[in-house]
Amino acid sequence: MSGMNDSFDAARVASILARVAKRRPRIHCLTNTVAQNVTANMLLAFGAVPSMASHPEEVAAVAAGAGAILVNLGTLSPEGERAIPKLLAIARERDIPLVLDPVFVELSPLRLRLAEEVLKQPGVIVRGNAAEMAALDAVMQSAGGVLRVTTGRIDRIEGGERVLSVAHGHEWMARVTGLGCASSALVAACRAVEPDAAIAAAAALTAYGIAGEIAAERAAGPGSFAMHLIDALAGLDEAALRARMGSAA
Ligand X SMILES: Nc1ncnc2c1ncn2[C@@H]1O[C@H](COP(=O)(O)OP(=O)(O)OP(=O)(O)O)[C@@H](O)[C@H]1O
Which residue numbers belong to the known binding site? Answer: 52, 127, 151, 178
Question: Is 181 a binder of ligand X (CB under 6 A)?
Answer: yes
Query: What is the distance between the alpha carbons of residues 31 and 75, in angstroms, rounded to a whole number?
Result: 8
Question: Is 177 a binder of ligand TZE (CB under 6 A)?
Answer: yes
Q: How many CB atoms lie within 10 A of CB 127?
A: 30
Q: Which does 137 bind (CB under 5 to 8 A by kind): ligand X, ligand TZE, Mg ion, none?
A: none
Q: Which is nearer to ligand TZE, 35 or 88 (CB)?
A: 35
In this chain, which of 20, 35, 60, 189 binds ligand TZE, going by CB under 6 A? Answer: 35
In this chain, which of 97, 178, 209, 212 binds ligand TZE, going by CB under 6 A? Answer: 178
Annotated binding site for ATP: 127, 151
Cβ neighbours of residue 88 closer than 8 Å, sequence gap 6 or more:
71, 98, 117, 118, 120, 121
Question: Is 47 a binder of ligand TZE (CB under 6 A)?
Answer: no
Number of residues that bind Mg ion (CB under 5 A): 2
Query: What is the distance between the alpha carbons of residues 130 and 137, in angstroms, rounded to a whole number?
Result: 10
Q: Which does 34 bind (CB under 5 to 8 A by kind): ligand TZE, ligand X, Mg ion, none?
A: ligand TZE
Query: What is the distance between the alpha carbons of residues 91 and 19, in angstroms, rounded to a whole number?
Result: 21
Question: Is 180 a binder of Mg ion (CB under 5 A)?
Answer: yes
CB of 201: closest distance to Mg ion in angstroms?
15
Question: Is 180 a binder of ligand TZE (CB under 6 A)?
Answer: yes
Question: Is 32 a binder of ligand TZE (CB under 6 A)?
Answer: yes
Question: Is 34 a binder of ligand TZE (CB under 6 A)?
Answer: yes
Query: Taking the mean position of all CA atoms in its chain, how far away is CA 46?
Result: 12
CB of 130: closest distance to ligand X in angstroms?
7
Question: Is 100 a binder of ligand X (CB under 6 A)?
Answer: no
The CA-atom distances, in angstroms, between 208 and each of 141, 146, 234 are 28, 22, 10
CB of 182: closest distance to ligand TZE in angstroms?
9
Annotated binding site for substrate: 52, 178
Query: What does the binding site for ligand X look like in residue numbers (CB under 6 A)?
Result: 103, 129, 151-153, 155, 169-171, 173-174, 177-181, 183, 205, 208-209
Query: What does the binding site for Mg ion look like in residue numbers (CB under 5 A)?
Result: 103, 180
Query: What does the binding site for ligand TZE look like in residue numbers (CB under 6 A)?
Result: 32, 34-35, 74-75, 103, 177-178, 180-181
